[in-house]
Amino acid sequence: MSRCPECGTQALQCGDHTSSGQGIWTGEWPGDLECREWDWWTPFTHPNGTTEMVSDLNRLALAAARGEVRWDKQAERYR
């Protein structure tokens, strides 16, 4: 899933920057890199009952909405 290079949202969902093209696909889910760097994790329980820690993408989205992190369109990532 690639991001809009202008604002960081999913390219397919961004209606504001349709002429910007799509961002770089790195081979991993957008936001995983930032969550790993900032040590933002949340538990995920599988249907079989096992639990693992996964990137807390909700925390990243909330931090972006609150202005705690910003989209760097040159680097195509949150800072």
Dist CA 66 CA 57 (whole Å)? 14
Half-sphere exposure of 14 (CA within 13 A, CB side): 19
Beta bridge partners of 55: 41
Strands, E, within the chain: which ranges? Answer: 41-45, 51-55, 71-72, 77-78
pTM, whole model, 2 decimals? 0.78
Q: How many C-beta neighbours within 10 Å does residue 61 have?
A: 13
Per-position pLDDT tens, the chain of length 79: 777 777 777 777 777 766 656 666 778 888 899 999 999 999 999 999 999 999 999 999 999 999 999 999 888 889 9
The answer to whether the CB of 27 falls within 8 A of the CB of 36 is no
